Amino acid sequence: MLVFKFGGASVKDAGGIINLASVVKKYSDQQLLIVVSAMGKTTNALERLTKAYVDQTDDMHDIFNDIKEYHYNILSELFEPSHEVFDDVANTFVEIDWAIEDEPHDSYDFIYDQIVSIGELVSTRIVSAYLNKDGIKSQWLDVRGYIHTDNTYREGIVQWDKTRASIGKDIPALLAKGAVVTQGFLGGTSENFTTTLGREGSDYTASIFAACLGAESVTTWKDVPGILNADPKFFADTVKFDELSYSEAIEMTYYGASVIHPKTIKPLQNAKIPLLVKPFTDPTAPGTVIKEDGVNKFEKPVIILKQNQVLLSVSTKDYSFISEDHLSEIFRLFAQSQVKINVMQTSALSFSVCFDFYEERFEKLLANLQQDFKVKYNNDLTLITIRHYGQNSVAELTAGKKVLLEQISRNTAQVVVR
C-alpha cells in the first residue's frame, strides 16, 4: 500500500481538488491512504482568528466569515447545493462557533490547537466527498482517534505504542474497501482534546501512518518539481536533487528546509520506507527520492532561509563566566517555554541563541530568563544556513547585510543577518 500526502497548495481551489482526484485515479490498483493539509492559506487565516479570539478584537467574526466563505465557494464549484458535504462542513465549522462564543480562559497553545485544527477537518471532508463523487471509493477518517499524543499543545509528542496499536487494528480493513482520506498535522489526547504536531506537520503524519502500516512508500505532492537546493521564491537558479540519503535529508530539515517537516524522516528511516517528493502538476515526473542508499550530489550549495528570527544573548548579572550550571538552567528555561534553538554560540561572558519568534513563547522565555540573567535581543532577523558551501557562498549571501552572528563548520555555515 502507498501513503500520499497533499499539501495546502495542491488543494487551494476547486481545480486543485479535481487534479488530486486525477492523480489518485492513476493509482487505482493500489491501496491508498491519503493525508491532506488545510486548503491554501487556511492555517494562516485560522492562526489570525485564534489571535483575534484570544485578544478579543473586533475583527474576529469577519476573519471567521472570510474563512467560511472561501471554503463554501470551493464547495459550490464542486457540488450541487443539495450535496451532504455542505452539512458536513457546516457542522465542522460549528466547532469554532462553540470555541469562540465564550471569553478565552485556556492557554494560548490549547486554544490554538482546537481552532487551527478545523482547517484539516474541513479540507478532508471536501476531498473525500469529491473522490466519491468522481467514482473513487473513499472513506473519511478522523486522525485524532489514531495518532495519539501527549498534552504538549502545538507540538504533540506521539505515543507510538498506542498509535501503532490503533492504526494496526482498524486501518488495514478500511484500506481493503477503498482509499482512506485523513488529516495531516493533527493528533488527539487521552482526554479527547485535539493537538497539532508542529507547523507543516502533515508530512510527519504521513510517515507515522506509513511506518505503522509497513507502506511501500510515501509520496508527498508539492508545488515544486522535487527537493531543490534553495527556495525558488527567493533564488532563481535552483537545481533539483534526483536522490538524497536519509541522513542528508535529516540535516536539511533540521536546519529548516521547509519542503519536509523535520520529524518526517526518522520513522521512514527506521522502517526503510522511501520518501518521494513529486510535483502534483506533473505526476509522471520523477521528483526526488529519499532513501537509505540515496546518492547525494551537490552541484550547488543547499541554501535555507529562516525568517522572523530572534537573536538573544544571555549573560550573568555579576559578570561571571557562563558556566555549565548557567547553561543547564538556560536550557531548562528554553525547554519549559517550548522554544527550539536554531543556532547557539558561547563566549566567556555570554550565551547567544537564535530561534523562531512566537510571541507568547518568547514573552514567557524572556520573563523567566530575566529573573536571574541579563538579556539582550534583536528580532525580525534572518538565519541563512548554507550546506556544502563554497569559498564565496557566505560572502555572496551576506553582501549588503549586517551580520550579527556567524558560525562555520566543515559542512555547514550559519549566519544571522539583518
Helical H segments across 26-117, by residue range: 42-55, 60-78, 85-100, 108-116
The DSSP secondary-structure symbol of 9 reads G
Does pLDDT of 156 surpass 80? Answer: yes
Does pLDDT of 125 surpass 90? Answer: yes
Partnered with residue 381 across adjacent β-strands are 309
Q: Regarding the domain delimited by 302-417, which CATH topology (the fold level of the hierarchy) does it fall under?
A: VC0802-like (3.30.2130)
Please give the angle made by the CA atoms of 107, 60 and 379, to the nearest 5 degrees: 60
Mean pLDDT value across the chain = 96
How far apart are the C-alpha atoms of 200 and 196, rounded to whole Å?
10
Record the cell numbers describing residue 207, joined without a space: 510517515
E strand or H helix at 124: helix 118-133
Look at residue 46 in the predicted model and tell me its pLDDT. 98
Same CATH fold assignment for domains 2-291 and 302-417: no
Per the CB < 8 A criterion, the answer to whether 79 and 125 are in contact is: no
Look at residue 344 in the predicted model and tell me its pLDDT. 96
CATH, range 2-291: 3.40.1160.10
Angle between helices 85-100 and 118-133 (to 10 degrees): 180
Does pLDDT of 79 surpass 80? Answer: yes
Question: Residues 214, 220, 226, 230: what is their CA dihedral angle, to the nearest 10 degrees?
Answer: -110
User: Per-residue pLDDT tens for 30-66?
Assistant: 999 999 999 999 999 999 999 999 999 999 999 999 9
Strand order in the sheet with 412-417: 341-346, 351-356, 302-316, 373-387, 412-417, 403-408
How far apart are the C-alpha atoms of 286 and 226, rounded to whole Å?
8
Cα–chain center distance at 54: 23
Is 6 among the annotated ligand-binding positions?
Answer: yes
Q: What percent of the chain has pLDDT over 70?
A: 100
What secondary structure does DSSP assign to 220-283, as a single string?
EEESSSS-BSS-TTT-SS--B-SEEEHHHHHHHHHTT-TTS-TTSHHHHHHHT--EEEEETT-T
Look at residue 199 in the predicted model and tell me its pLDDT. 82
User: Per-residue pLDDT tens for 236-289?
Assistant: 889 999 999 999 999 998 898 877 888 999 999 999 999 999 999 999 999 999
Is 7 among the annotated ligand-binding positions?
Answer: yes
> Residue holding cell 539582550?
376
Three-class SS state of 188: strand
How far apart are the C-alpha atoms of 70 and 47, rounded to whole Å?
16
Does pLDDT of 377 surpass 80? Answer: yes
Partnered with residue 5 across adjacent β-strands are 35, 220
Is 8 among the annotated ligand-binding positions?
Answer: yes
Q: What percent of the chain has pLDDT over 90?
A: 93
Look at residue 257 in the predicted model and tell me its pLDDT. 84
Listed by start position, the domains of the chain span: 2-291, 302-417
Instruction: Give residue 117's pLDDT band: very low, low, confident or very high (50, 70, 90).
Output: very high
Is 43 among the annotated ligand-binding positions?
Answer: yes
Strands 2-6, 302-316: pairing is: unpaired
Instruction: Give residue 112's pLDDT band: very low, low, confident or very high (50, 70, 90).
Output: very high
Look at residue 391 in the predicted model and tell me its pLDDT. 79
Look at residue 402 in the predicted model and tell me its pLDDT. 97
CA distances 397 to 307, 310, 350, Å, are 14, 19, 27
